[in-house]
Structure 1
Amino acid sequence: MQISREWATPLTMGAFVLMATTGILMFFHADIGLNKEAHEWLGWAMVAGVGAHALANISSFKRYFTKPAALGIVAVFLLILAASFFIQEEKDGKGGNPGRRATMAVLNAPISDIAPLAHQTPQALLADLQKAGFLIESTNQSLISVTGPEQANQFKALAVVFH
């Protein structure tokens, strides 16, 4: 199958506009609606567009890898990518994303401590969580002890708490 520049280039351009816009909005915490989901899921359109664009222009693409400057730029981004797998957020509570730290503090706190934040009694919150299907027996338990590490379960429990 011949890959055509007629659709590969517009696909790349459209996906870039979407990714750039939603990425900038997320960076400045100004995303609304489905911006984050669009960024995550439609990022695949960017991958497909760039791949198709590269294949449609393969001879030009290959020439870039004969130039030291191009190789250097690609190498810098590959090093940044590699470093992103190994550099961790600080775990002492003094660094990293404050929203994530706040979420983890709530998830690790006992139900009895979380209930006042949700304007509920500990027993009422315990009952709400049980009705939502969480196997929680005591207000001394933390949310994370019943949700486990699965982020979707954690957010489901937080949604019950802060409904």
Structure 2
Amino acid sequence: MATIKKFMKISGQMKNLQRSGWVYHKIENPESDAAHSWSLSLLVQLYAPAELDLCKCLKMANIHDLAEIYVGDFTPGSGIAPEKKHEMETDAMRRLVKELDYPELAELFAEFEEQKTPEAVFVRNMDKLDAVIQARYYDETQTYGGRLFEEFYNYAEEKITHPQVLSLLRELKKQA
């Protein structure tokens, strides 16, 4: 089991790591990786279909971006090849498995990345939805002069494959 001091360090890094997409868009007080993971976990808890393993979904939601404390947060426009990003994040997860003494971390991350289980697909789709929700929130609460919702909505609509998540995405747009 990890020492509490090691947990404190890793948890603190997640809380302090700002999401690079929001920094790029010059958002005031941008969301942290920890805040994003919490929001995603709450979405998963609220909307996970009964046939999915909710515990596994929540674990994936909590750890899906943990590697970013060592490799950074890459946006789709970062110019990093998906294979390179995967390699870097897998190496970071191996490091975290040792530091936290948490072997299940590697299994959960691999399952999320491979997208071969219904739980992994659902959580990845909800991850896309969460970004759209956050963009909408910024559009409604900040005075940066931009409109992020449409950009993030259009991107997510192309990527989301889960029917329930797609329905939630479209519901969000209708409530504009």
TM-score (norm 1): 0.25
Which is bigger in relative contact order (C-alpha 8 A, separation at least 6)?
2
Q: Which structure's CA Rg is the greater one?
A: 1
TM-score (norm 2): 0.23
